[in-house]
Amino acid sequence: MRLLPYAALAIAFPGMAFAADPHSYAQPDVVKVTHLDLALKVDFAKRELAGDATLKLDWKDAGAKALVLDTRDLKIAHVDAIDASGKATPLTYTLAARDKELGSKLTIAAPAHPASVRITYTTVPAASGLQWLTPEQTADKKQPFMFSQSESIHARSWVPLQDSPAIRFTYDAHVTAPKDVRVVMSAINDAKHPLDGDFKFDQPHPIPSYLLAIAAGDIAVKETGPRSAVYAEPSVVGKAAHEFEDTEKLIATTEQLYGPYAWGRYDILVLPPSFPFGGMENPNMTFATPTVLVGDKSLVSLVSHELAHSWSGNLVTSAAWRDIWLNEGFTTYVQGRITEAVYGKALADEEALLSARELEKTIGDMPANTQKLTPDPRGVGADDSLSSVAYDKGSWFLRTLEQRFGRETFDAYLKGYFAHFAFQSIDTDTMFAYLKANLLDKYPGKMSEAEARAWIWQPGIPKDAPLPTSPRFDSIDQQRTAFLAGKLDAAKIDAKGWNTQEWMYFLDRLPDVAPLDKIKAIDAAWHLTGTPNAEIGMRWYAHAIAAGDKDVWTAAAEHMTRIGRLYLTTPVYRAFARTPEGLAYAKQAYAKAKAGYHPMTQQAVESILAGKSKKK
Distance in angstroms (rounded) separating the CA atoms of residues 182 and 215: 8
3-class DSSP assignment, residue 37? strand
The answer to whether residue 523 scores a pLDDT higher than 80 is yes
d(CA 160, CA 153): 12
Q: What strands, in cross-sheet order, belong to the sheet with 220-225?
A: 220-225, 228-232, 267-270, 285-288, 279-280
**Would you say residue 172 has pLDDT above 50?**
yes
Dihedral sign of CA atoms 126, 132, 137, 142 in order: negative
Rounded to whole angstroms, the Cα distance separating 152 from 173 reads: 21
Q: Is 446 exposed, middle or buried (0-12, 13-18, 19+ CB in 10 A)?
A: middle
Q: What is the CA radius of gyration of the chain?
A: 24
What is the full DSSP assignment across 546-583?
Answer: HHT-GGGHHHHHHHHHH---HHHHHHHHHHHTTSHHHH
- pLDDT tens digits for range 177-194: 999 999 999 999 999 999
Q: Is 154 annotated as a binding residue?
A: no
- The pLDDT confidence band at residue 4, using thresholds 50, 70 and 90, is very low
Query: pLDDT for 266-290, tens place per residue?
Result: 999 999 988 888 899 999 999 999 9
**How much is the pLDDT for 525?**
98
- How open is the CA angle 408-414-416, to the nearest 5 degrees? 105
H-only helix segments in 5-122: 7-12
Do 214 and 51 touch, CB atoms closer than 8 A? no
Q: pLDDT by residue (tens digit) across 450-484?
A: 999 999 999 999 999 999 999 999 999 999 999 99
Within 8 A by CB and 6+ apart from 187, the residues are 171, 172, 173, 201, 202, 203, 283, 284, 285
The residue type of 454 is A
Q: Classify the C-alpha dihedral 387-389-395-398 as positive or negative.
A: negative
Alpha carbons 450 and 461: distance in angstroms, whole number: 14
Which helix (H) or strand (E) is 356 found in, with range?
helix 345-362
- Give tens-digit pLDDT for 315-369: 999 999 999 999 999 999 999 999 999 999 999 999 999 999 999 999 999 999 9
Q: How much is the average pLDDT of 544-570?
A: 96
| H-assigned helices in 363-435 | 388, 394-405, 407-420, 428-435
pLDDT band at 295 (very low <50, low <70, confident <90, very high): confident
Q: What phi, psi does 251 have (nearest 5°)?
A: -60, -50
Residue 48 labelled as part of a binding site: no
Contacts with 233 (C-beta within 8 Å, 6 or more apart), sequence order? 138, 139, 140, 145, 217, 218, 219, 220, 270, 272
Residue 379: is its pLDDT beyond 50?
yes
Dihedral angle at the C-alpha atoms of 299, 303, 304, 308, nearest 10 degrees?
A: 150
Taking the C-alpha atoms of residue 90 and residue 299, their distance in angstroms, rounded to an integer, is 52
Biggest CA pair distance of the chain = 83
pLDDT at 231 over 60: yes
Taking the C-alpha atoms of residue 451 and residue 462, their distance in angstroms, rounded to an integer, is 9
**Contact between 150 and 212 (Cβ < 8 Å):** yes
Binding site annotation covers 305? Answer: yes
- State pLDDT tens for residues 81-138: 999 899 999 999 999 999 999 999 999 999 999 999 999 999 999 999 999 999 988 9
Hey, what amino acid is at 599?
P
Calpha distance 180→175 (Å, rounded): 14
Mean pLDDT taken over the chain: 94
Element of type H or E holding 475: helix 471-484
Q: Find the range with the poorest average confidence among 134-138, 258-262, 285-289, 489-493.
A: 134-138
Asked whether residue 14 carries a pLDDT value surpassing 70, the answer given is: no
Q: Which of 233, 306, 340, 402 is catalytic?
A: 306
> DSSP label at 53?
E
DSSP 15: P
Residue 256 has pLDDT above 60, yes or no: yes
Residue 549 predicted with pLDDT over 60:
yes
Q: Which of 391, 413, 417, 590 is catalytic?
A: 391
Q: Reply yes or no on whether the pLDDT at 616 is more than 50.
A: no
Is 391 annotated in the active site? Answer: yes
Instruction: Say whether 261 is catalytic.
Output: no
Q: Which residues pair with 476 in a beta bridge?
A: none
Domains in the chain: ranges and CATH: 318-457 (1.10.390.10), 502-609 (1.25.40.320)
**% of the chain with per-residue pLDDT over 70:** 96
Q: Give 510-548 as a DSSP string.
A: S-TT--HHHHHHHHHHH--TT-S-HHHHHHHHHHHHHHT
Q: What is the pLDDT of residue 62?
A: 97
